[in-house]
Each structure stands twice: as C-alpha cells, then as structure tokens.
Structure 1
Amino acid sequence: MDLTQPTSENVTFMIEKIKEKLRMVNVDAMKADNFSTSQYEDLVYIYEMVMKRDKITPNEMQAIAAELGSLRK
C-alpha cells in the first residue's frame, strides 16, 4: 500500500491496522470516517510507530488513543 498520498482510503487502511494492532475495545471511537486527510502526516507517524512496536504497554496504548482522539474531526 502506498501511504505517501493523503487519501481517505489510506486513512481507512491505517486506522484499521492500528485498531487491529492495539486490539482496541471501543472501535466505534476509531471510525475512519472521523479522520480527515488534513492531519495525514500525524496519522502516518502514529501508524508507523504502532506498526514497528512488538509490544505496547497499557500506558502507551492510552497515550496513542488520546493522540488519535485529538486528530479526529
């Protein structure tokens, strides 16, 4: 997947992969429709950080969720 272009398809892909990796319980709060391409670089940064980690602590998960919450429309 080419994530260099800020498209809604790429936003959807990254959000879905982040949800899978974090095994998030409240998936309704993480709907891809809630994110726009205007903060695409920030979303890519979070996506790359989450994907390269083998383990994510509960505190890190909470911080990631908070950051994603701040990126929502």
Structure 2
Amino acid sequence: MNLAENTLANADFMIEEIKKKLRMATGSALKATKLNDEQYEDLKDIYEMVAGKTQFSISEIEAITTELGRLRKA
C-alpha cells in the first residue's frame, strides 16, 4: 500500500489503524470522504506518528484525538 497516494482507501486504512492502535471505541466521526488534500497529509502525519509508537500517555491520546477532531471540523 502506497500511503503517499491520496486515495479514499488509504485514508480509510490510516483512520482504522489509528483507531486500533489507540483503542478508540468511537472513531466513526472522522470519515475519509470528508478529507481534502491538505487534511490527507495531516492524517498521514498523525498515522505515521501513531504507527511509530508502542505506548501512549493520556495526554498524547488526548492531543491525537483533538487533532483528529480538528480534521473532522475543517
């Protein structure tokens, strides 16, 4: 999978992986169909950061969720 390509499938994949890694029960508020090109790059940055870590503090999870919420609102 080439995540450098801005596709709906890639965005869906990254969102699902972030939700799994953070054990987020409700992540349905963020939909890949709502992302524009700039938001895709932001999502990719969040995904790469989350994928590269094995543990998260409460404050890190809160910050990540806030960023995902910002993508949803934009």
Give the SS at the match of 2:19: helix
Alignment gaps of 5+ in structure 1: none
Q: Which amino acid aligns with 1:18?
A: I
CA displacement at 1:36 relative to structure 2: 1.1
1:26-45 to 2 correspondences below 5 Å: 26-33=26-33, 35-38=34-37, 39-45=39-45
Count of matched residue positions in the alignment of Structure 1 and Structure 2: 72
With normalisation by structure 1, the TM-score equals 0.87
Moved over 4 A (4+): none
With normalisation by structure 2, the TM-score equals 0.86
* Range with greater deviation from structure 2 (55-64 or 19-28): 19-28
RMSD: 1.4
Partner of residue 14, structure 1: 14
Alignment gaps of 5+ in structure 2: none
